[in-house]
């Protein structure tokens, strides 16, 4: 009797899952474009019913996707559960999609694990007019002229980090620089957002916040099965617990600041920072809910603290592993600035070698390996293929920057490639198209100023003859590996 009851239930479940797997993920059955005249989109083998290719991605999706790129080319399709996923690689392909066909690719792919946290009213995950309004507000606060007026914030923070390394050099101890470099990045974005700052002691709340952000970025980069297999969502909606707990910690921190400011600020005065501008839009115009202000500030705290900090850490790793490059950079910086001259981003044109090093770090260690996924709200004809409505789309920045087809010896750190105009190629460290990072000008300013400050004052060295690992750890942002260094005062 038990089998007579359970058997039809199992059949119904299997049929439902199978239908989910082969569903067109929201594609209209009345599609007017016939697929018969289009090329078949290449796809890897090993498709597993229900899960698609998810089980093959494991802990390093960017590396597996690079393998598939090398096998299947610059346009291929994989399955995330029931969701068709289009992977676009190489600069000309990504540019054609996100610049020349921008409106078709502009939507953000909505995942329930994200909207459970941010309700879809933050910058990264919103769409339509609401997203355009948020982006306009933030870009207005991050113009080059405003960044120039506030550059002294970045310079002060760079001096704070420099003072820390002076104490490290004096002590002669081997140090892990990660928290101090990331605290620099976090302090810069906190000043632009809220006008606050943490001292360079990395104790207490700032230390806890940095660890929380790092864990969150590692976990949020992984594909959550419940986002792509609807039947699994009720069983996985609160997992991994650490992901939800870390976001709640950051939300509590930002919420307290935002709500306190809302209660005390004078709406008739000019805004002092980005938070003020968002709160004025919330209070006066009413088209951004308070939770949208908080969630957008969380986006900026997360991205501003982690991606920029990791880029700086990868530069330190690369220069420790290539001391001859570090010496050439030192010579350029001393000849340009001396020892005590304050560095400004407007000095960029005077230091071509430093700029080449930063570009090479962007290329070799891409901050957002797969960017944040996009969504096709229509069928798209693209390069002889029919990309189906309902697909998520990846800008495969990692493989683009490390492709042997595009770059000579791509795994080597060679700043010279960006000094040779005839061989220099475009890179896309901040994504491409209208969804590119709104804070890229700020990020470039703070990376340049800190690098120019530190590498003319200090020599960074490996503790042993063994090279430091250059293997990034996958997340929403590529994380630098753990490492320790010795520092000498120049």
CA–CA separation, 279 and 293 (whole Å): 7
- The residue-averaged pLDDT of 436-450 equals 94
pLDDT at 282 over 60: yes
The partner residues of 381 in beta bridges, in order of sequence, read 386
Nearest to 366 by CA among 480, 485, 460, 211: 480
> In degrees, to the nearest 5, what angle opens at C-alpha 172 toward C-alphas 169 and 176?
80
Q: Is residue 467 part of a domain?
A: yes
Q: Residue 87 forms beta bridges with which residues?
A: 76, 394
Q: Is 473 helix (H, G, I), strand (E, B) or coil?
A: strand
Q: How crowded is residue 45: how many other Cβ atoms within 10 Å of its Cβ? A: 7
Which range of residues forms the domain containing residue 192?
111-365+411-489
Going by the annotation, the residues of the binding site for heme are 437
CATH at 280: 1.10.630.10
> In this structure, are strands 83-88 and 392-395 parallel, antiparallel, or unpaired?
parallel
Residue 166 lies in a domain: yes
Q: Which residue has the tokens 């690098």?
A: 451
Under 8 Å between Cβ of 441 and 435: no
**Dihedrals φ, ψ of 49, to 5°?**
-50, 140
pLDDT tier for residue 224 given thresholds of 50, 70 and 90:
confident
pTM attached to this predicted model? 0.91
Q: What is the pLDDT of residues 346-392, one digit of tens each?
A: 999 999 999 999 999 999 999 999 999 999 999 999 999 999 999 99
Other CB atoms within 10 A of residue 273 CB: 18
- CA dist 383 and 76 (Å) reads 12
Binding-site annotation: residue ranges? 437
Alpha carbon distance 16, 4 (integer Å): 19
pLDDT bucket at 203, cuts 50 / 70 / 90: low
Q: Is residue 98 part of a domain?
A: no
The secondary structure of 95-164 as a DSSP string is HIIIIITHHHH-SBPP-HHHHHHHTT-STTT--HHHHHHHHHHHHHHT-HHHHHHTHHHHHHHHHHHHHH
State the distance between the two ends of the chain, measured CA to CA, in whole angstroms. Answer: 83
In a domain, 398, yes or no: no
Q: How confident is the model at residue 199 (pLDDT cuts 50, 70, 90)?
A: confident
Name residue, tokens 């439902």: 16
Q: Does residue 391 belong to any structural domain of this protein?
A: no
Question: What are the CA-CA distances from residue 465 to residues 85, 321, 412 (Å)?
Answer: 43, 9, 18
Closest to 307 in 3D by CA, of 371, 241, 228:
371
Residue 34 pLDDT level (bands cut at 50, 70, 90): low
Which DSSP string do the residues of 352-406 spell out, in sequence order? HHHHHHHHHHHHHS-SSTT-S-EE-SS-EEETTEEEPTT-EEEE-HHHHHT-TTT
Total number of domains in the chain: 1
In this prediction, residue 411 carries a pLDDT of 96
Could you read off the pLDDT of 406-434 as tens digits, one per residue? 899 999 999 999 997 655 689 999 999 99
102-106, 135-139, 200-204, 290-294: the lowest-pLDDT one = 200-204
Q: What is the pLDDT of residue 269?
A: 85
CA distance 188 to 72: 42
Q: Is residue 42 part of a domain?
A: no
Give bridge partners of residue 76 from the DSSP assignment. Answer: 87
């Amino acid at each position: 009797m038990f089998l007579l009851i359970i058997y039809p239930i199992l059949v119904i479940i299997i049929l439902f899952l199978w239908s989910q797997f082969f569903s067109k993920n929201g594609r209209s059955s009345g599609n007017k474009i016939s697929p018969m005249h289009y090329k078949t989109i290449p796809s890897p083998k090993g498709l597993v019913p229900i899960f698609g290719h998810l089980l093959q991605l494991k802990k390093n999706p960017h590396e597996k996707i690079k393998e598939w790129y090398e096998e299947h080319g610059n346009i291929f399709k994989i399955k995330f559960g029931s969701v068709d996923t289009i992977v676009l690689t190489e600069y000309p392909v990504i540019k054609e999609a996100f610049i020349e066909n921008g409106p078709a690719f502009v939507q953000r792919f909505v995942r329930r694990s994200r909207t459970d946290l941010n309700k879809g009213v933050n910058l990264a995950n919103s769409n339509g007019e609401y997203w355009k309004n948020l982006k306009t507000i933030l870009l207005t606060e991050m113009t080059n002229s405003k960044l120039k007026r506030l550059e002294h914030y970045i310079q002060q923070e760079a001096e704070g980090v420099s003072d820390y390394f002076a104490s490290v050099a004096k002590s002669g101890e081997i140090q892990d620089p990660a928290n101090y470099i990331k605290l620099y990045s976090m302090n810069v974005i906190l000043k632009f957002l809220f006008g606050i700052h943490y001292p360079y002691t990395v104790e207490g709340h700032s230390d806890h916040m940095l660890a929380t952000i790092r864990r969150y970025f590692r976990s949020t980069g992984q594909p959550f099965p419940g986002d792509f297999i609807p039947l699994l969502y009720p069983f996985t909606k609160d997992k991994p617990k650490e992901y939800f707990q870390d976001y709640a910690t950051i939300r509590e921190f930002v919420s307290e600041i935002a709500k306190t400011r809302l209660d005390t600020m004078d709406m008739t005065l000019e805004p002092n920072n980005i938070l003020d501008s968002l709160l004025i839009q919330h209070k006066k115009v009413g088209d951004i809910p308070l939770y949208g202000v908080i969630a957008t500030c969380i986006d900026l705290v997360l991205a501003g603290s982690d991606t920029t900090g990791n880029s700086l850490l990868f530069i330190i790793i690369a220069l420790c592993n290539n001391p001859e490059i570090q010496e050439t950079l030192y010579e350029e910086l001393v000849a340009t600035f001396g020892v005590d001259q304050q560095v400004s981003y407007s000095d960029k044109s005077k230091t071509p070698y430093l700029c080449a090093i930063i570009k090479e770090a962007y290329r070799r260690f891409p901050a957002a390996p797969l960017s944040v996924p996009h969504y096709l709200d229509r069928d798209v004809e693209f390069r002889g293929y029919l990309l189906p409505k309902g697909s998520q789309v990846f800008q495969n920045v990692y493989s683009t920057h490390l492709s042997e087809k595009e770059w000579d010896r791509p795994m080597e750190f060679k700043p010279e490639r960006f000094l040779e105009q005839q061989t220099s190629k475009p890179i896309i460290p901040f994504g491409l198209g209208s969804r590119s990072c709104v804070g890229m000008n700020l990020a470039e300013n703070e990376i340049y100023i800190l690098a120019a400050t530190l590498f003319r004052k200090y020599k960074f060295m490996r503790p042993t003859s063994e090279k430091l690992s250059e293997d990034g750890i996958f997340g929403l942002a590529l994380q630098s590996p753990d490492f320790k260094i010795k520092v000498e005062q120049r």
